[in-house]
Structure 1
Amino acid sequence: MQTYTTLHGVAPAEADMQRFFRVTPPTVHRMVLALERRKLLEHIPGRSRSITLLVSSDEIPKLERRGTDGAF
């Protein structure tokens, strides 16, 4: 999320995360809610691109797109 925001100047929409992780919309929504419950991010329900990270970039592991074999 931080890299996306840095590159695009806005937070990712749930649809952007869906495409990146190749998962369904409900999966992304549950992920966002779970991260919010853990106080890792906050968002405004019903407002697009409102995700704000609540942790520093040093605390976030770098992710890479999965290959076709499912490995990182």
Structure 2
Amino acid sequence: MNRKLNQLLDGQTPAGPSFTEKQGQYLAFIWAYMQINRQPPAERDMQRYFGVTPPSVHQMVLTLERSGLIRRQPGVARSIQLLVDHDILPKLQPVQPVITSVQRY
């Protein structure tokens, strides 16, 4: 509180919420998904988009929640709420497919 007050008195704008590039992409995905589908994504939707494992998505959701960037109701499906203004979110980048030299069966 004192830091924000000092910033205002010094003519500086308070810093917005900070998040990593990867966290920003998850937040941007949540916002975009909600715009298209009129409901928050399930963890499975994020897993499909980002091509990661269920534990990875769950850990990211927990991290975003602990950081105060989202809120959700435990035990309620699709209950994610963004707590940041969508104007500060980065542009959602398409996920690049993994290129491998291993032949499929």
Name the counterpart of 2:47: 18
RMSD value, Cα = 1.3
Using structure 2 for the length normalisation, give the TM-score.
0.63
Give 2:83's match in structure 1, choosing from 49, 54, 58. Answer: 54
Instruction: Structure 2 unaligned segments of length 5 or more: list them.
Output: 1-29, 100-105
**How many Å separate the matches in 1 of 2:98 and 2:46?**
19
**How many Å separate the matches in 2 of 1:48 and 1:6?**
18
Bigger Rg, structure 1 or 2: 2
**How many Å separate the matches in 2 of 1:15 and 1:4?**
13
Q: List per-residue Cα deviations over 1:27-51 (Å, max 9, x = no partner).
A: 0000000001110001111111000
What is the identity percentage for the equivalent residue pairs of Structure 1 and Structure 2? 49
Instruction: Structure 1 unaligned segments of length 5 or more: list them.
Output: none
Q: List per-residue Cα deviations over 1:3-40 (Å, max 9, x = no partner).
A: 10010010000000000000011100000000011100
Give 2:93's match in structure 1, choosing from 61, 64, 67. Answer: 64
**How many Å separate the matches in 2 of 1:65 and 1:22?**
11
**How many Å separate the matches in 2 of 1:65 and 1:15?**
17
Using structure 1 for the length normalisation, give the TM-score.
0.90
